[in-house]
A and B are shown apart, each in its own frame.
Chain A
Amino acid sequence: MIWVDTIVQGILLGGLYALFAAGLSLVFGIMRLVNLAHGDLIVLAAFLILTVVNLLGLSPFVAVLIAAPVMFAVGWALQTYVLNRVLGDDILPPLLVTFGLSVVIQNGLLEGFSADSQKLSAGPIEAASLPLGPITVGVMPLLTLISAVAVIFALNQLFYRTKLGRAFRATSDDAVTAGLMGIRPRNVFAIATGIAMVVATIAALYLGIRANFDPSIGPARLIYAFEAVIIGGLGSLWGTLAGGILIGVAQALGAAVNPEWQILAGHIAFVLVLLIRPRGLFPRAND
């Protein structure tokens, strides 16, 4: 029974990783942009939510509604004024620019908010749990997983059911031809990054409620997110969810054997999957 419990906890943890990864997956899938600052942007969103909570005395769940449009604007501006300039065949400039951005955001937050650990307080719901047959699950982890599924479902609807989604897919497949059909790739990219930042804000909410955060934790979260995206396969959002859950379960199983092996087990699962399938489990687009 303990194994079932471990695996369930792992799946729930995977929900959090999938949320970290969903925005990344969207941007990666549409414009092949590896955003090394994504983890720090999530932390930035967490500090933004914290500031709104402190200033207006709102619940974090309401504060997200104010933070999300702000983050959309941040993403839109970032793409329009910086990242669009470095997109191209050469992967080096975007990697290095987002790397620089990561260092700037991290140390900017350190200057503004100090290195102290912060936490978003959601009230009694944090400690609540639900008996689910023979095992008990926390309400917050369950809510995280449900949110991850909902976010990915919504992104998929956007991707496959709307005009904007058609523009996303067309640009992803062939930006030049999409341009000939009257789509402006640069605008599409800016909107996509804006949406990715809204998803990052939702991820930040759960990050902040479930654990302490400080300006330096971005890269460590980013690495799980990347693993989820790559394991899932380029451009597949459900694949990203599967990838996040796989990492979560591997970490939970590793931790059950020896607490020191938690992170290591996740990384090793990533390597094993890629040794067998270098393009991930469910690749949609060609890279």
Chain B
Amino acid sequence: MTNSSKSTLSRVIAVLAVLVLALVPVIGSRAMVQDLFMVLTLLVLALNWNMLAGFAGLVSVGQQAFVGIGAYAMFGGVILWGWDPLPAILLGGVAAMLLSLPIAFFTFRLNGAYFAIGTWVSAEIVRLSMAQWKALGGGTGTSLPKGTTKEMIGVAQIKELLGVSSSAASDALTYWLALTLAVVTLLVGYLFLRSRMGLGLQAIRDNVEAARSVGVDPLRLKALVFVLTAFGTGLCGALLFIQITRVSPDAAFSVVDWTAFVIFITVIGGIGTLPGPVVGVLVFYILQRVLADYGTVYLIVLGLIGIVIMLFARKGLWGMFTEKTGIELLPLRHRSLQHRPSQRSGN
């Protein structure tokens, strides 16, 4: 088989996988739906972080700021203004996008490693500020009013369609939303990177001076990526906490849950490759399952795998796979049709 027919085959497999995933609430158990919901939301976070760190060179360790603000805005919409949780998810995304503006204004003045610390401090400031929001429980947090998720738009219809309880129907709804968000994030990321702007972004990553000399504006492009990924991360945060139904500053702004795991997922799967986070989230899920009985051991294993990958295979598992097999799912390289280079191009 040629590389391109292999790639077509893997694309067919990918579409089938999405279809099977979409059927899980119909054929699978409720525990499975909840498990896969967490996997899909982690995938969305990882796709966003990969876009930031892997493609735009913005190594943020403060993405929990956007998960948290998304969750809090959604709670504010539901509890304070009586919104339905579904439109309140959008409110979460918009709030995260608005928050990303002042954070970008501050952190974009810092370069490299300073940027990472700047985003972390920003996230801490947002967490501590949210703990002062007494209407949403201050430092101890608050829960969604009882029954809110069972009365969400669409739950009644799903209940009828699948013939399940209200809580199972609301699980199915949030699951489908997570699946949609993951697929859309992946496709938008692909289209963006294939576009003129995405090409500019990769040019900046490879050589800033050369990119500027042909008219690419690094600051504008990076700011755009920062704001858009904040939107996606905020949507995901709001969605996550509809399922969790309880918000507190420590849970919503957890650096371990929403940033550390996400970084490991991306690094293990392959940072700077589009399918990398998908591979990473599978490895993460399997590890969590296999090592579930050994407490924190799986975190140690995760950390060690991350270190080993950074030392010996910087493009992660997906990068190794592509190099060995020549299969490129969602390829980003632009190749001329007449001339196909036989040897591997440099980094």
Contacts and interface: CB of A to CB of B under 8 A. Distances in A.
Whether chain B is bound by chain A comes out as yes
Nearest to B109: A278
Given A104-B303, A108-B300, A271-B121, A95 B59 contact: yes
A260 B132 contact: yes
A96 interface: yes
Q: Which residue among A32, A97, A100, A267 has the maximum number of chain B CB atoms within 10 Å of its CB?
A: A100
A278 B263 contact: no
A268 B125 contact: yes
Interface stretch (A62-70, A130-138, A142-150, A223-231): A223-231
Given A34-B117, A91-B113, A104-B303, A96 B310 contact: yes
A86 interface: yes
A230 B117 CA distance: 9
Contact of A100 (B61, B117, B118, B303): B303
A177 B323 CA distance: 36
B306 interface: yes
Contact of B296 (A86, A96, A110, A287): A110
Chain B interface residue count: which class? 35 or more
A99 B116 CA distance: 12
A219 to B, nearest CB: 7
Contacts of B255: 219
Contacts of B307: 82, 97, 100-101, 104
Contacts of A128: none
A86 B263 CA distance: 17
Contact of A93 (B61, B260, B303, B310): B310
Nearest to B306: A100
Nearest to B271: A92
B157 interface: no
B53 interface: yes
A32 B113 contact: yes
B141 to A, nearest CB: 15
A207 B59 CA distance: 30
Interface in B294-313: 295-297, 299-300, 302-304, 306-307, 310-311
Contacts of B118: 274
A93 B59 CA distance: 11
Secondary structure at the B interface, as helix, strand, loop or mixed, is helix
A219 B124 CA distance: 12
B106 interface: yes
Contacts of A268: 125
A101 to B, nearest CB: 7
Interface string A258-278: 001001100110110011001
B121 A264 contact: no
Contacts of A110: 296
Nearest to B129: A264
B296 A107 contact: yes
B131 interface: yes
B264 interface: yes
A267 B103 CA distance: 13
Nearest to A92: B59
Contacts of A103: 260, 264, 299-300, 302-303, 306
Contacts of B21: none
Nearest to B256: A103
Contacts of A263: 124, 128
A35 to B, nearest CB: 10
A228 to B, nearest CB: 11
A111 interface: yes
Nearest to B205: A90
Given A82-B307, A85-B311, A34 B110 contact: no
A32 B57 CA distance: 17
B87 to A, nearest CB: 31
B71 to A, nearest CB: 20
A36 B116 CA distance: 10
Contacts of A108: 300
Given A82-B307, A100-B303, A267-B128, A95 B113 contact: yes
A91 B57 CA distance: 9
Given A104-B303, A107-B296, A227-B121, A274 B116 contact: no
B159 interface: no
A28 B113 CA distance: 10
Nearest to A227: B121
Nearest to A111: B296
A270 B121 contact: yes
A275 B121 contact: no
Nearest to B53: A92
A115 B203 CA distance: 47
B302 to A, nearest CB: 7
Nearest to A220: B124
A102 to B, nearest CB: 8
A100 B113 contact: no
A267 B121 CA distance: 7
A36 B132 CA distance: 28
A106 B61 CA distance: 18
Q: Which residue among B106, B112, B139, B302 has the maximum number of chain A CB atoms within 10 Å of its CB?
A: B112
Q: Which residue among A28, A230, A267 has the maximum number of chain B CB atoms within 10 Å of its CB?
A: A267
A106 B114 CA distance: 23
10 contacts: A32-B112, A99-B260, A104-B299, A104-B300, A107-B300, A107-B303, A230-B117, A263-B124, A271-B106, A287-B112
**Closest 4 CB pairs between A and B?**
A103-B303, A34-B113, A104-B303, A100-B306
Interface of A: 28, 32, 34, 36, 82, 85-86, 91-93, 95-97, 99-104, 106-108, 110-111, 219, 223, 226-227, 230, 260, 263-264, 267-268, 270-271, 274-275, 278, 287
Given A34-B116, A92-B53, A100-B304, 5 more contacts: A34-B113, A91-B113, A100-B264, A107-B300, A227-B121
